[in-house]
Amino acid sequence: ETLSSGDERTARPRNGKAREKTLTMETLNPQVKAVEYAVRGPIVIKAGEIERILQEGGKKPFTEVIKANIGDAHAMGQQPITFLRQVVALCTFPELLDSPSFPEDAKRRAQRILQGCGGRSLGSYSASQGVDCIRQDIAAYIEQRDQGVPSNWENIFLTTGASDGIVSILRLLVSGEGRARTGVMIPIPQYPLYSAAIAELGAVQVNYYLDEDNCWALDVHELHRAYQAAKQHCQPRVLCIINPGNPTGQVQSKKCIEDVLHFAYEENLFVMADEVYQENVYAPDCEFHSFKKVLYEMGPEYFNSVELASFHSTSKGYTGECGFRGGFMEIVNLDPEVKAQLVKLLSVRLCPPVAGQAAMDVIVNPPQPDEPSFAQFHKEKASVLGALADKAKLTEQILSAVPGIKCNPVQGAMYAFPQIFIPPRAVEEAKALGMQPDMLYCLRLLEETGICVVPGSGFGQREGTYHFRYVYLNFLDGSRMILGSSSHSNAKV
């Protein structure tokens, strides 16, 4: 076959057969096929359909869908923090620096950020690690948060949301074949970014179960069990923790974090601490302890050796700026050569979005008491966090009152992960439909009450138990919930 003559350039199905596709389910990257991701799965598609029916005047036993499936604060009506948006708008359109309607402290921050940008423009690629002065602000913020524990800005990397940081670190860590393959220990239930990234990278997912009976605490004995079991078939090298927890909403105690770090020290594990909910702690008897600070307090032998990456984001906290895709990671004790490799890897994708970096800067460098925006900033922040704390409490109360549902204390993050008791007959019915029982439960809950939640099977749960994740950014209508649930725990399913 040559292609030089004109005639041959006429298209035709060869051998009478239609041309086959190159990329089919058969030829698709099997590691991509193996990825599971439930947060935006069938329930959400169904919710969209129901919304369309309602909009077109169709009838349902409710008038609107309550989206309690995703931690997307602004989509649920939370208002942006004015100061943050002022700074980002000033950076975007610097002509506004002359406008009297923007406060001086916002202007100062915007000017400083722009000075860190090539050509003083948000439109320049930044260094792959992010804008230097923002990295410095982050390090200062961490030192303050951790009551003086030193933070080196050269260990700070801006990221495209926390997601990007988490995946980037996992990409470094995966290696080996067969029994030498990297095992990544993740909590069950987990935020499914972890299982998805592990599947795509072809690493081995090593599950450790959070202790539901003990308010989703992380028990170090369970870590040992999981580690020892995994060692039979892979090389566990990474330990991921989500604190405060998603989907479980717990806040780990300092003692628990110490135990975890000790374990990681002993077993030579790289620790990934997902701390995107560090500002989201509501229970009065709980406090956020960063892994970095606890490691420091364990003494230099620990602090100078355990490899730790911790992740933060603009998406959560009191800002809820998900769409800006801002975030950072701090990495301590990383081998310097490996660090150079990380920089190289990040360079390939050029840089994180600079507007997101600017948003992150506001979070770590908020208005100070002597600045003009302080009062309003503080009021807005307190209002968001106060409302979330109220909703956390209300969620716990309402869910605990629903027959057939058992709910742990809701301590932090923006989630409750109640256990649901599904009668055997309903379990059978789900199986007959080729569906997880909790998926069936959530579909029925959606159809009957308009409440959209994600089934526990999307996050992982102990065999034979069923849950759903409820995001309490929205108002929780107790009566709807009780109505919906009672119709399931009896024989109607």
CA atoms within 13 A on the CB side of 281: 16
191 interacts with, out of its own copies, ligand PLP, none, CB within 5 to 8 A per kind? ligand PLP
State yes or no: residue 15 binds its own copies (CB under 8 A): no
Of 33, 179, 233, 379, the one binding its own copies (CB under 8 A) is 33
Nearest distance in Å: CB 491, its own copies: 35
Binding test (CB under 6 A) with ligand PLP, winner from 28, 34, 340, 350 = 350
Q: Cβ closer to its own copies: 13 or 424? A: 13
CA-wise closest residue to 365 among 155, 139, 159? 139
One character per residue 283-322, x = contact with ligand PLP (rule: CB under 6 A): ------------------------------x-x------x
Distances (CA, A) of 75 to 71, 321, 388, 476: 9, 10, 15, 16
Q: Return the structure tokens found at 332.
A: 């301590």
Binding mask 61-90 for its own copies (x = CB under 8 A): ---------x-xxxxxxx-x----xx-xx-
Q: Which does 337 bind (CB under 5 to 8 A by kind): its own copies, ligand PLP, none?
A: its own copies
| Per-residue binder mask for its own copies (CB under 8 A), 231-270, x = binder | ------xx-------------------xx--xx-xx-xxx
89: partner contacted, choices ligand PLP, its own copies, none (Cβ within 5-8 A by kind):
its own copies
Is 310 in contact with 292 (CB distance < 8 Å)? Answer: yes
- When CB distances are held under 5 to 8 angstroms depending on the partner's kind, the choice from its own copies, ligand PLP, none that residue 274 binds is ligand PLP
Pairing verdict, β 419-420 and 326-332: unpaired
The verdict on 122 binding ligand PLP (CB under 6 A) reads no
Q: Which of 170, 241, 242, 329 binds ligand PLP (CB under 6 A)?
A: 242
Q: Report the residue number, 302 or 441, with the smaller CB distance to its own copies.
A: 302
Residue from the set 78, 155, 163, 373 that interacts with ligand PLP by CB under 6 A: 163
Among residue numbers 57 through 96, which ones bind ligand PLP (CB under 6 A)?
A: 71
Instruction: Return the amino acid letter for 354.
Output: V
Which residues are bridge partners to 330 per DSSP? 156, 310
Other C-beta atoms closer than 10 Å to the C-beta of 191 total 26
DSSP assignment of 58-91, as one string?
A: ---SSSS-EE-SS--TGGGTPPPPHHHHHHHHHH
Residue for token pair 């393959």 = 181
The neighbouring-strand residues paired with 182 are 235
Q: Length of the chain, please? A: 493
Rounded distance, CA 435 to CA 441, Å?
10
SS3 content of the chain, % helix, strand, coil (to 5): 45, 15, 40
Alpha-carbon distance of 36 to 15, in angstroms, equals 39
Omega before 236 cis (within 30°)? no
CB of 12 vs ligand PLP, minimal distance in Å: 33
Task: Please give the C-alpha separations between residue 22 and each of 3, 19, 25, in angstroms, as whole numbers.
Answer: 20, 9, 10
Residue nearest to ligand PLP (CB): 161
CA–CA separation, 385 and 422 (whole Å)? 34
Question: Binding residue for its own copies (CB under 8 A) from 200, 275, 330, 380?
Answer: 200
Q: How many residues lie near its own copies (CB under 8 A)? A: 115
Select from 6-14, 98-106, 158-166, 337-345 the region that touches ligand PLP (CB under 6 A). 158-166
Question: Three-class SS string for 306-329?
Answer: CCEEEEEECCCCCCCCCCCCEEEE
The pair of structure tokens assigned to 406 is: 């058992």
> Using CB under 8 A as the criterion, what x/- string covers residues 333-372 for binding its own copies?
xxx-xx--x--xx-xxxxxxxxxx----------------
- What is the nearest approach in angstroms of ligand PLP to the Cβ of residue 168? 12
Q: What is the smallest separation between the CB atom of 10 and ligand PLP, expressed in angstroms?
A: 32
Q: Which two tokens stand for residue 477?
A: 């209508």
Does residue 128 touch its own copies according to CB under 8 A? yes
Q: Which one of residues 80, 116, 161, 192 is an interface residue with ligand PLP (CB under 6 A)? A: 161
Helix 161-173, helix 193-201: angle, nearest 10: 40
| Choice between 3 and 432, CB closer to its own copies | 3
Kind of pairing between the strands at 66-67 and 451-452: parallel
246 binds, among its own copies, ligand PLP, none (CB under 5 to 8 A by kind): ligand PLP
Residues of this chain that interact with ligand PLP (CB under 6 A) are: 71, 161-163, 191, 193, 242, 246, 274, 276, 313, 315, 322, 327, 350
